[in-house]
Amino acid sequence: MNRIYFDNAATTKVDDEVLKAMIPFFTQNYAIASSIFSHEDGLIAQEALESARAFILDKLNAKDYRCIFTSSPTESNNLALKGIAFSKKKGQYRY
């Protein structure tokens, strides 16, 4: 029987290419990207993160100052809601 998964809002299967690219960061270079001053692994993670961001911006044909990368869906939602709330407060909210 084929499996049908209806809760992709909570979690989604990782694409095989993404998983393959991420395996080194799950097994060898699992450092915090912001710890670049404390050890080399942090620098490797930071370089990989910046490379991924550049790849995404290129695919979207976007400028870096027009894209905000967040750490989670909750942070993204909060940022969007705050943006709407603050713009409405200033009288700039339009549909």
Tens digits of per-residue pLDDT, 24-50?
888 988 888 877 566 788 888 889 989
Closest Cα to residue 67, out of 92, 10, 58? Answer: 58
**Looking at the predicted structure, is the pLDDT value of residue 53 above 60?**
yes
Both 75 and 36 in one domain: the answer is: no
Both 47 and 93 in one domain: the answer is: no
Query: Distance (Å, rounded) from C-alpha 12 to C-alpha 75?
Result: 18
Answering whether pTM is above 0.75, one says no
Which structural domain range is residue 70 located in? 63-95
* Continuous H helices in 1-95: 16-27, 40-60, 73-89
The pLDDT value given to residue 93 = 53
Both 28 and 52 in one domain: the answer is: yes
Place of tokens 């499996």: 3
Both 52 and 76 in one domain: the answer is: no
| Residue partners of 93: CB distance under 8 A and separation at least 6 | 84, 87
Number of folded domains that form the chain:
2
